[in-house]
Amino acid sequence: MIVIYGCYRSRATRNIWLLEEIGHPWRLERVVQHYRVAASARENGIVHTRSAAFLARFPAGTIPVMQDGDVWLSESLAINHYVTRNYGGAFAHHSDAEDATSMQWTLFGATSVEPSALALSVLSQAATPDATEIDAHERRLDRPLRVLETVLERGDWLVGDRFGVADINMAEILRFAASRPDMLSRFPATAAWLAKCQGRPAFQRMWALRSSEPAEIAARTS
Ligand SMILES: N[C@@H](CCC(=O)N[C@@H](CS)C(=O)NCC(=O)O)C(=O)O
């Protein structure tokens, strides 16, 4: 049984999607972002990313964290590679080259796509979105999105000829940019691939869990 410390409205979605995809047993131990917890709830038994007990084990104070027996890992994308290698079965990489190519796309996503995609997600939710900043981040994404578009024009998936962990990691990173549908529609192969990824039953199960979680965590009543 893999334990994910985190909550549904966090990057734990990446891990939950994968675990659902491969059918490996998991459970969630709830830890929420400190800024989502109502002040009244902080002293009321809600574990959050600034709770002393959580920080004592993970000074970075971020979720998700994974526990698998004696193995503790943070970093959602690294967790997914660990789970794939150890429990992926037929879903796991078939060779060292596939494994390395998968890691290549995961790192490309984390370094070239995630910063601006995340910024776009935050900027789009602002009461008065800053159009100049939004434009700057869309420009920064142009080159990495052209790279993805080229790859996805040539094949259905990022690695080999089947859906894999690189697709989950990249799709979850790109989801941050969903608030900019006009930008994504300039990359039709990428947009079609994202829709295909998100149409998978395992994504849908994860998404139902995420949607069931309130944005603000109130104090416990019992
Ligand atoms: N690169 C890390 C980022 C982790 C991260 O920033 N998580 C957010 C939630 S999605 C968090 O814990 N924020 C709470 C905080 O900073 O206190 C990963 O992929 O796991």
- Domain total in the chain: 2
Confidence of residue 36 (pLDDT cuts 50, 70, 90): confident
pLDDT score at 82: 98
How deeply is 117 buried, as exposed, middle or buried, from its count of CB atoms within 10 A (0-12, 13-18, 19+)?
Answer: buried
130 C-alpha to center of ligand 1: Å?
Answer: 24
Q: For residue 38, give its domain range.
A: 2-90+205-211
At 85-122, the pLDDT tens digits run: 999 998 998 899 999 999 999 999 999 999 999 999 99
- Ligand 1, atom 6: nearest CA belongs to which residue? 62
> How many residues would you count in the chain?
222
pLDDT score at 94: 87
At 124-175, the pLDDT tens digits run: 988 888 899 999 999 999 999 999 999 999 999 999 899 999 999 999 999 9
For the cut 50, the answer to whether the pLDDT of residue 211 exceeds it is yes
* Cα 100 from Cα 76, distance rounded (Å): 17
Same domain, 42 and 100: no
Cβ of residue 75 lying under 6 Å from some atom of ligand 1: yes
pLDDT score at 78: 97
Q: What is the mean pLDDT of residues 192-217?
A: 94
What average pLDDT does the structure give for the chain? 93
Check the CA dihedral 79-82-87-88 and report its sign: positive
List the CATH number of the domain containing 63.
3.40.30.10
Cβ of residue 124 lying under 6 Å from some atom of ligand 1: no
Evaluate whether residue 32 is within a structural domain: yes
* Cα 204 from Cα 195, distance rounded (Å): 12
Cβ of residue 62 lying under 6 Å from some atom of ligand 1: yes
Same domain, 103 and 161: yes
Same domain, 98 and 196: yes
Same domain, 78 and 102: no
Please give the radius of gyration of the chain, using alpha carbons only, rounded to the nearest integer.
Answer: 18
Cβ of residue 63 lying under 6 Å from some atom of ligand 1: yes
Same domain, 69 and 17: yes
Tally DSSP H helices, then E strands, for the chain. 11, 4
List the CATH number of the domain containing 119.
1.20.1050.10
Check the CA dihedral 134-180-112-188 and report its sign: negative
At 63-91, the pLDDT tens digits run: 999 999 999 999 999 999 999 999 999 89
Q: What is the mean pLDDT of residues 194-201?
A: 98
Cβ of residue 166 lying under 6 Å from some atom of ligand 1: no
Evaluate whether residue 216 is within a structural domain: no
Cβ of residue 33 lying under 6 Å from some atom of ligand 1: yes
